[in-house]
Amino acid sequence: MSSGDGQQSQALTKPSFSEVQASALVESVFGLKVSKIQPLPSYDDQNFHVCIARTKVTTDGPNECVLKISNTESSKTPDLIEVQTHIIMFLRAAGFPTASVCRTKGDNVSSLVTVDSGSEVKSYLVRLLTYLPGRPIAEIPIGPQLLYEIGRLAAKLDKTLEKFHHPKLSSLHRENFIWNLKSVPLLEKYLYALGQNRNREIVEQVIQLFKDEVMTSLSHFRECINHGDLNDHNILIVSSESAFGDAVYQVSGILDFDDMSYGYYVFEVAITIMYMMIESKTPIQVGGHVLAGFESVVPLTPVERGALFLLVCSRFCQSLVLAAYSCQLYPENEEYLMITAKTGWKHLQQMFDMGRKAVEEIWFETAKSYESGISM
């Protein structure tokens, strides 16, 4: 869901390859013939669902893939994309349901493609990943057990990445990356996109609280690599039937590692809570179940717990403000960009109206109930 580091600008060019051009890319860069191709929704990159035609030469390999074409700004950071791609491979080897990476004909994990439109030359990084089964959890009602498992998954992912090494790992220190929670004060540049209303007033209050309370506590948070975008469209699930005839859900895919950066454990759980609230009919209850799962792997410190409410509010602000801003740049992509806004403003207002103490009490009591084996 990201753009390049620093301020998003109109200089960022979202790719606009046709299906024919995308098919030609798959063949020329990866040496695979396409039997069917269709676009997938995306924020500011371009993705295609690709079916691979079997030939005498390509009898092995995946049948379905995702062609990822990065925008012009992201394409200027090949080291970062290389590290993110190797993390996908590392996590898959560690047992996580991430995609496999298809190598180019030159045995690389990505390729820089240059397009000359006549008036200007633009470069785009392209990658090909295997297509993962399942459907987004946004499409199903998420119960307490699945929320717990998603919280646990988020913590295990960050914990596992403590063991990841790469010579270009420092590229994940993304200074002023707009989607890192540390960058909440940078939202002030985009507030004009909201107009003058109660929503803007709440965002302004959250930003000020963030400056006063979170920025001064960062040195007390434990650092780690964050996925940074475990939203309800980036986690896939498959269902099976239990012995009692109930649907049992299992995570079958983790998508979109483009927002990865160095952050903190408490950032990851806050981001996950916020996105799991989006489609919930009882959004305030969500946090305790996700927190319990997360803390079964990485218990938070008192300082980290004390920042959780404000961090969840801050992520709502990031998502909602940047969606409003991006809609002005890409009105044709409004339906996808405004997914969070459908319920997000209402949830943020509810949290703010209830206040930190009341929300924390619900979250922490729910999380505590898992310790005794009785989930609320």
Picking from 303, 207, 290, 237, the residue whose alpha carbon sits closest to that of residue 264 is: 303
- Per the document, the length of the chain is 376
User: Per-residue b/e over 223-256, b at no fewer than 16 CB within 10 Å?
Assistant: ebbbbbbbbbbbbbbeeeeeeeeeeebebebbbb
Domains and CATH numbers, the chain: 19-130 (3.30.200.20), 135-372 (3.90.1200.10)
Nearest 5°: phi and psi at 335?
A: -55, -45
13 φψ region: left (φ > 0), alpha (ψ -120 to 50), beta (else): beta
Q: Cα dist. 58→28, 54, 55, 70, 103 in Å? A: 14, 6, 5, 26, 14
CA–CA dist 122, 203 (Å, integer): 36
Q: What is the pLDDT along the chain (376 residues), one digit of tens a residue?
A: 544 343 344 456 789 999 999 999 999 999 999 999 999 988 789 999 999 997 655 556 679 999 999 999 999 999 999 999 999 999 999 999 999 999 999 999 999 999 887 788 999 999 999 999 999 999 998 999 999 999 999 999 999 999 999 999 999 999 999 999 999 999 999 999 998 899 999 999 999 999 999 999 999 999 999 999 999 999 999 988 776 777 788 999 999 999 999 999 999 999 999 999 998 999 999 999 999 999 999 999 999 999 999 999 999 999 999 999 988 877 776 666 677 788 999 999 999 999 999 999 999 999 999 986 655 5
Has this prediction a pTM greater than 0.75?
A: yes
Residues annotated as catalytic (active site), given as ranges: 229
* β-sheet bridge partners, residue 48: 39, 67
Burial of 151: CB neighbours in 10 Å, binned 0-12, 13-18, 19+: buried
Chain centre distance of CA 327: 19
